[in-house]
Amino acid sequence: MEFGGTTSWRAVPLCLALVVALQACLCSCATAAPKTYIVQMAASEMPSSFDFHHEWYASTVKSVSSVQLEGEEDDDPFARIVYNYEAAFHGFAAKLDEDEAERMAEADGVVNVLPETVLQLHTTRSPDFLGISPEISNSIWSAGLADHDVVVGVLDTGIWPESPSFSDKGLGPVPAKWKGLCQTGRGFTTANCNRKIIGARIFYNGYEASSGPINETTELKSPRDQDGHGTHTAATAAGAPVPDANLFGYASGVARGMAPRARVAAYKVCWAGGCFSSDILAAVDRAVADGVDVLSISLGGGSSPYYRDSLAIASFGAMQMGVFVACSGGNAGPDPISLTNLSPWITTVGASTMDRDFPAAVTLGNGANITGVSLYKGRRNLSSQEKYPLVYMGGNSSIPDPRSLCLEGTLQPHEVAGKIVICDRGISPRVQKGQVVKNAGGMGMILANTPANGEELVADSHLLPAVAVGESEGIAAKKYSKTAPKPTATLSFAGTKLGIRPSPVVAAFSSRGPNFLTLEILKPDVIAPGVNILAAWSGDASPSSLSSDRRRVGFNILSGTSMSCPHVAGVAALIKASHPDWSPAKIKSALMTTAYVHDNTYRSLKDAATGKASTPFDHGAGHIHPLRALNPGLVYDIGQDDYFEFLCVESLTPMQLRAFTKNSSKTCKHTFSSPGDLNYPAISAVFAEQPAAALTVRRTVTNVGPPSSTYHVKVSGFKGADIVVEPSTLHFTSSNQKLTYKVTITTKAAQKTPEYGALSWSDGVHIVRSPLVLTWLPPM
């Protein structure tokens, strides 16, 4: 999906107010039809008159029932319940009208009532680029670690079990701890699971409650993946090595997941109409009960307050059970404040490029050569010796022209037949624009970036000869097409090229911070490869995902934070295999404090949208470095009580806080004075007072390196503040020893824009780096 335009963070409250007002207006004019609500319950408050929680839940539904639901002979409360939740989350999902939902919020034992929401998918070379060779991954998964088999749960569109990426060759028996199963359905039997795919389930009750029955003539009500997205993400995280993998000859080599010997459990939560929050919550709940160690969730929607975000609440429960949760940050960049999945107990992942590209070229009739990218491989090839008429249907106006965007039905054959057509990105899928050109008789396409995409190039498997070019090159091509008497061009394709410099680069589409829910929690956490990623694909889907595309492939190349998320989940599985006793926070800390912020030209990471240096609001702590993350030296641990105290200073009411407690008697201890007191691996200091006073931040590090070690601190210089760290040296004498340090930040000249730097501890072997961001809020 394409995103365009820019948004000022100051305009966000106004926009939200307008949206709320519009929703209120629409709701007041409509009859209240039943819809799905997620109801969180205080499990410990179940009356003694009930033997089981589900009986209590049904009784609660009956107590608020006002009218008989359409199509039901009697208002059976059990029939109205869509799901019961019991592991990561306590409660149920049920069909209620608005009046019933209001009464439900007041019922005894009810903690929270959340409306159903729809989330969307955030849609090889990467192991080698990340430094994970087969020898290294095999050494991590040695026989001595057989008792610590790691399971990666993937919430997505299902899985294509026949892919060689899910071969179980060389794997031992299914881990004894595993409680999951293989759910059968059309096109999927228990034989489709093996020692690699050890679990497969489907979740559709919420979808059907909101959208009606799934059309089983076109959609498989089974774990089988007809979309390809779920197969791609699962293989990226934990796919087995497959030699000679490629897409039409592009990116040829060994396709291998981050954790190739980890087990995979597929939880199908996305259907043709989207991914519904009640289904996602049920999948997280079930995955935790099944025994997954890591969850990869490449989904997202808007960002709600923590206590209103069902995924935030469910992932909090997963964290309490020791499950590491990685989520995609979203593809709404380069707009600021566009991130989703912002909770500090979630690892939020942005996207970056690799050092591999698929170069293609446009040669204009005036002799100018324009460099772009493409994955085109078809029967129709343009001769490099011949020049083809070139046309751009847009005008000189800044107002978008449907013809310039090559939208369905906008191109006339008499205008484009036999020509190469320049199409602007936006509104419709990139490959679909080429289909429109092809249907109108065009010979080829130049896909031009707009300001929203900048110079970032994303390759696609087009249906006709096509080259994607950056914004500036697109402007040059369009100018030539409008000014030359008889503009011409030809296209050529150069295959796969490695060693691209600079790399990595922050993807323009990667969603950006700051974290508008809590400025003191820096987001995203890290970036990972998410541009032009090769991985396994569904045999039911075309590489372009267009229904008109009849091609079928075993591997496909995709881009998105959906692709970067499973990279991090897979590396987390590697760390879990090496350190089975580590908490999710320790794993996250290892990923963040070992991340790097320089590209392969030894310069600061760049932002593809601007060509300038990226900031921690773009890349978080930096680009993951898996080998260093396996041996980080020091880690910042955070327990569930710490996260609860963080929520206590987030202005949540006692009832709102209960969304995160399994014990209704749990109360705040008030050990934190600010959200910045959370022992996060990044430091984001926010000066809200005028004049800005000094801030003190404390952090505690745990020694996971040599028992006897000494670390010295190094801090960046800042224009706006003086930084003092006490003590400046940390002396450790034992493993797992904890030491605390204090950072005092004193303003000397408040800055109008945030300042960025780092605080690092080093013992000469390890460098434990935390991004340090200083923000001075303007006077109110």
Give the separation between CA 119 and CA 122, rounded to whole angstroms: 9
DSSP designation for 681: S
What radius of gyration do the chain's Cα atoms show? 27
Residues in the chain: 780
409's torsion region: left (phi>0), alpha (psi -120 to 50) or beta?
Answer: left
Collapsing DSSP to helix, strand or coil, 714 comes out as: strand
Amino acid found at 703:
N
Amino acid found at 50:
F
> Which strands form 721-726's sheet, in the order they lie side by side?
634-635, 695-703, 738-747, 721-726
Is residue 431 within 8 Å of 546, Cβ to Cβ? yes
Is residue 227 within 8 Å of 275, Cβ to Cβ? no
Provide the Cα torsion 584, 589, 590, 591; round to 10°: 90
| 731 carries an active-site annotation | no
Give the separation between CA 235 and CA 298, rounded to whole angstroms: 13
Give the separation between CA 621 and CA 626, rounded to whole angstroms: 14
Give the separation between CA 318 and CA 324, rounded to whole angstroms: 7
| 579 carries an active-site annotation | no
The b-or-e profile of 469-505 (16+ CB within 10 A means b, else e) is bbbebbebbbebbeeeeebbbbbbbeebeeeeebbbb
DSSP designation for 568: H
Is residue 730 within 8 Å of 748, Cβ to Cβ? no
Active-site residue, selected from the candidate residues 90, 122, 229, 232 = 229
Amino acid found at 421:
V
Amino acid found at 299:
L
Q: Is the peptide bond before 413 cis (omega within 30 degrees of 0)?
A: no
Active-site residue, selected from the candidate residues 97, 149, 156, 618 = 156
Here the tokens at position 558 are: 């995709």
Here the tokens at position 27 are: 């709701």
| 229 carries an active-site annotation | yes
- ∠ CA(7), CA(347), CA(305), 5° rounding? 55
Task: Tokens 């090559």: give the residue.
Answer: 406
Active-site residue, selected from the candidate residues 562, 578, 684, 760 = 562
Handedness of CA 368, 369, 375, 378 (dihedral sign): positive
Q: Give φ, ψ of 655 to 5 degrees.
A: -65, -40
First to last CA, the chain: 37
Alpha-carbon separation of residue 545 from 44, 463, 549 (angstroms): 47, 11, 7
Give the separation between CA 712 and CA 693, rounded to whole angstroms: 27
The b-or-e profile of 211-237 (16+ CB within 10 A means b, else e) is eeebeeeeebbbbbbbbbbbbbbbbbb
Handedness of CA 303, 304, 305, 309 (dihedral sign): negative
Give the separation between CA 422 and CA 433, rounded to whole angstroms: 10
Alpha-carbon separation of residue 387 from 226, 367, 417, 478, 539 (angstroms): 40, 11, 14, 16, 38
Give the separation between CA 284 and CA 291, rounded to whole angstroms: 11
Could you list the active site residues?
156, 229, 562
